Chains A and B, each alone.
Chain A
Amino acid sequence: MSFLQAAALLAVAGCGTAVVLTRDPTRQVIVTGFFGLLLAVLFFVFQAPDVALSQIVVGTVAVPVMALLTLARLRTRARRRDQP
């Protein structure tokens, strides 16, 4: 296993732990985007360009955008609940 592959694996493992340990959802979305990018690098290093292409767009564009929209909606609703 080459050095690049080992480094990518370690980075993915570390970032996955960071995603879980980041409790605040807004911050976690950023870490998730970064995790998606690291996964794409891992896929490239494993000689899987098609998968990496999918992962880049999905993991750094689609999922963070949807999560942030959901969080914004939740925050608006919470704010509206607090003020009568």
Chain B
Amino acid sequence: MSRRFRLSLFAVGAAVLAAGLLHGLAGLPAFGHYHGVYGTVLDRVTVSERHATDVITAINFDYRGLDTMGEEFILFAASIGLVVLLREQRDEHVDAERASEAGDPEQASDAARSGDAADPERTGGEAGSDARVEAERGGGHRLRTSPALLATGRWLVGPVLVLGVYIVTHGQLTPGGGFQGGVVLAAAVILVFVAGGRVAMAPIRPTGAAEALEAVGAGGYVAIGIAGLIAGMRFLSNFLPLGTVGSLLSSGTITSLSTIVGIEVAGALTLIVSEFVDQRLLVGGRSATEPRSPK
């Protein structure tokens, strides 16, 4: 099947698909004239029924909590699949030297800076400069991160963490919730990696903690659901006291489920990114011959 034949086949298929889709979508009510009943009812009753002002979070963790459990387990399964796929193969081993050297980028960059004073490109910590810091000399890979990026990234990690926790805990009040906040928390970890150069993940080694967090998140969701059963109601029913509208500890199990999902999503995404980063530290059995700068 040649490429040209494949393209023409695709053109025919796409035309048929487009025609079918456009015909089908034309049968929908015009854009802006949503007629559904479920959404309208939910808009009206959520605040009084569940004391939650963010209807979307209430839907995710209460009205359709079972679906969210399924989605959370998709995340769980995908991250497990990724770890299995990217595990160390027999012919690759973690370059121990590279990893230990990578464990201290600050020391390495200081050593480079002291020995590289004649570099004309260096402008000594000027914000927004193009200065390149060579953290490794003599063969191998070069770690070049500008000081502006390092400094900005380091300063931003704390605020991003706080923002993530805020988004997770205020899920039932304002736009937010477990999924968004969990991703922001994982982004804080990614920021450490991006700002510190690719080897800065090594000292954190979040894999163990990320796996634990993920397991706690996935299991915790089911546990809260079962707690609903123990409380004498259905699985995943909202059995905790509902509190006052607008306060942080309102909406019963919505808050707890949202926090649990936030933990799980943060753990899953941290695990995924750290697995990708670990791949960068693996070498194809060539490590022994690579020249290393003395520490």
Chain A residues near B (Cβ < 8 Å): 1, 49-50, 53-54, 57-58, 61-62, 65-66, 69-70, 72-73, 76-77, 80
Are A77 and B175 interface neighbours, CB within 8 A? no
Would A62 and B280 count as touching, CB distance under 8 A? Answer: no
Bound Cα distance A33, B193 (Å): 18
CB distance from A76 to the nearest CB of B (A): 8
Chain B, residues 173-195, CB within 8 Å of chain A (1/0): the string is 00111011001101100100110
Is A50 within 8 A of B175, CB to CB?
Answer: yes
- What are some 7 contacts across the A-B interface (CB < 8 A)? A49-B175, A50-B175, A53-B180, A57-B180, A62-B183, A62-B269, A72-B198
Q: Are B187 and A53 in contact (CB under 8 A)?
A: no
Chain A nearest CB, measured from B198 CB (Å): 8
Most chain A beta carbons < 10 A, residue from B32, B175, B180, B193: B180
The bracket for how many chain B residues form the interface is 20 to 34
Q: Contact between B284 and A77 (Cβ–Cβ < 8 Å)?
A: yes
Q: Give the contact stretch, choosing among B11-19, B125-133, B213-221, B270-278.
A: B270-278
Q: How far is B277's CA from A69's CA once the two chains are assembled, in angstroms? A: 7
With A57-B180, A65-B190 as contacts: A50 and B56 at CB distance below 8 Å? yes
Q: With an 8 A cutoff between CB atoms, is B38 at the interface?
A: no
Q: Given known contacts A57-B187, A65-B194, what 7 new A-B pairs fall within 8 Å (CB)?
A: A57-B184, A61-B183, A62-B183, A65-B190, A65-B273, A73-B276, A76-B280
Chain A facing B: main interface SS: helix
List residues of B (68-127) whose CB comes within 8 Å of A's CBs. none
- Tally of A-B Cβ pairs under 8 angstroms: 54
Main secondary structure on B side of the interface with A? helix
Shortest beta-carbon distance from B283 to chain A in Å: 8
- Contact among B54, B57, B187, B276 with A66 in the assembled complex (CB-CB below 8 Å): B276
Of chain A, the residue at the smallest CB distance from B56 is A50
Judge if B5 is at the interface, Cβ distance under 8 Å.
no
Cβ-neighbour of B180 out of A54, A61, A72 (below 8 A): A54
Task: From A1, A57, A72, A76, give the contact of B183 (CB < 8 A).
Answer: A57
A69 closest partner in B (C-beta): B276
Looking at the complex, which one of A57, A62, A65, A80 makes contact with B284 (CB distance below 8 Å)?
Answer: A80
Q: Which residues of A contact B284 (CB under 8 A)?
A: 77, 80
Give, as a whole number of angstroms, the nearest-CB distance from B2 to chain A: 20
Contact of A61 among B175, B176, B187 (CB under 8 A): B187
Looking across the interface, which residue of chain A has its beta carbon closest to that of B31?
A1
Closest Cβ of chain B to A65, distance in Å, is 6
Q: Quick one: which of A50, A72, A76, A80 contacts B177, CB cutoff 8 A?
A: A50
Which residue of B31, B57, B184, B276 is within 8 Å of A50 (Cβ)? B57
Chain A residues, CB < 8 A from B177: 50
Expressed in whole angstroms, the Cα–Cα distance for A70 and B190 within the complex equals: 15
A57 to B183 CA separation, bound complex (whole angstroms)? 6
Give the residues in chain B near A66, CB-CB below 8 Å: 272-273, 276
Contact with A along B25-69 (1 / 0, CB 8 A): 000000110000000000000000000001011000000000000
Give the residue name and chain of the B residue nearest to A54 (CB): B180
Residue of B nearest to A66 (CB): B276
**In the assembly, what is the distance between CA of A49 and CA of B276, in Å?**
30
Q: A1-B31, A61-B190, A62-B269 are in contact. Are A54 and B183 (CB under 8 A)?
A: yes
Find out whether the CB atom of A73 lies under 8 angstroms from the CB atom of B279. Answer: yes
- Whether B190 and A69, one on each chain, are in contact in the complex, defined by CB atoms closer than 8 angstroms, is no
Q: Which B-chain residue is minimally distant from A2 (CB atoms)?
A: B32
